[in-house]
Amino acid sequence: MLRYLLLRNPGHNRVYYLESEKLALAELTLTTKRFEQPCDEIQSVDIAGINYLSFTIGQVLSEAELKWLSNLSFIFALYQQSADTPESVLHPVELTPPGYVDPKISMLLKYSGKTNEIFTRMMVNVGLLSSDFGFDESFQMLDPVAGKGTTLFEGAVRGFDVTGIEMERKMVHDSTIFFKKFLEQDKYKHTLSKHAMYSSSTGSEAFIQLFEYAPDKQSFKLETSRKHLAIIGGNAIHSRRYFKVEKFHLIVGDLPYGIAHGNRGHKKHSSRTRSPAELMESCLPEFYKILKTGGSLVLAWNKFVWPREDFVALLTSTGFQVLDTDPYDQFTHRVDQSIKRDIVVARKA
C-alpha cells in the first residue's frame, strides 16, 4: 500500500487559502473517482507542522492518474510515501500540469472584484471531472458571464477552445487587448478578427472577437493544433442564437453576486437585479440546448441572494441532472460578510 501526499498551493489570497481545505478535499475526491484503481483514506494530515492532503492506493500511480492529479486546481507538489519508510521520508513525484498557454496568464490579470484564479481553476476541473469526457476530447467550453475573461484564460491553459459572452462592451475590449498582448509577448502565432453576429430591428445586436492561435507557425498551419478563444459582446439569454445545439462540453460561469456586480434578465433589459434568479430563468433553457449530452454545467453564485434549493429546483425543471451528494455539497464557503459562495454542478444526462 502506498500513500500519496499533496501540498496545496499557498495561493495569492490568504482568506481563500484558509477556506479552501474543504474545497480541495472535495475536488481530490472527485479526481480519484477517475482513477483505474480505488483510493482510500482521503484526508487532511499534518507532518512536521506542514499540512497535506493524502490518500492511499494499492499500486504506483499510472500516467493517466498522474495527469488527473496534475490538473487539480490547488496542487503545488506531490510526494509518495512507502509503508516501509519513516513517516517523515517523502519522495517527490513529477507532475505534468497543463500549459497550452502559460498558467501565469490568470495571475497577470488583475482588477477589482476578480475571483481568485485557483477557485476558477477548480470550477473548470470539477466540470471536467463531472462530465462524460476526458483529456482526449477536443474541448469546447463556454463562460456565459465572461467578465474580463479569467475562466476563458483558465480554459486556454488546458488547451480548450473557449468562448465567452459579456454584456459590458468595455470588459470585452479590455479582455481582448489583454489576451492579444499576452500572445504577442509570449510569441504565439495568432490572428484576431471581429465581425457582427446578428442585429435586429429592436436594437439587439452582438459581435464576436475571435482569436486563433498556436505556439509557433508550424502548429498554426495545422487546423487540428490551432486553438480558438472567442469573446462575444452580447447577452447570454440569446445563447441559442449564437451557437448550434450540443456545441459545448462544459459551461462554466461565476454569476454576479448581487454586490459589486449586477445582471440583466429578460424582464428588465435596462436595469440590474441583485439576484441571479431572473437571469437563470431566461438562460438555463438556452444552456441546456447548447450543452452536449454528457456535458456539465458549473455555476458559482452568492447564496445570500438566492437559496440553493431554489437554484436546484430551477435546474431540475429545465431538464438538468443536479449532482448534489457528497462531495458536491462541500463547495460552500464564505468570501466576506456579504458573500457566501457556492457552486452547483449539473449534467445533461
The structural domains of the chain, ordered by start, are 2-93 (3.30.70), 105-347 (3.40.50.150)
pLDDT in tens, 55-96: 999 999 999 999 999 999 999 999 999 877 777 789 999 999
pLDDT reported for residue 268 = 44
The pTM (predicted TM-score) of the whole model is 0.91
* pLDDT tens digit sequence for 266-317: 544 444 555 789 999 999 999 999 999 999 999 999 999 999 999 999 999 9
Contacts of 189 (CB under 8 A, 6+ apart): 213, 214, 215, 216, 217, 219, 220
pLDDT tens by residue, 190-223: 999 999 987 555 556 899 999 999 999 999 999 8
Cα distances (angstroms) measured from residue 199 to each of 181, 196, 234, 329, 330: 30, 8, 11, 42, 43
SS3 assignment, position 254: strand
Q: Cell numbers 479569467 correspond to what residue?
A: 150
CB environment 178-211: b (16+ within 10 A), e (fewer): bbeebbeeeebbbeeeeeeeeeeeeeeebbbbbb
- CA nearest 39: which of 65, 64, 20? 65
In the block, cell 513517516 appears at 87
281 burial via Cβ count (<10 Å: 0-12, 13-18, 19+) = middle
Q: How far apart are CA 8 and CA 348, in angstroms?
A: 32
Question: What digits encode the pLDDT tens for the residues 116-152?
Answer: 889 999 999 999 999 999 987 889 999 999 999 999 9
> What is the number of helices (H) and of strands (E) in the chain?
10, 15
Contact 207, 195 (CB under 8 A): yes
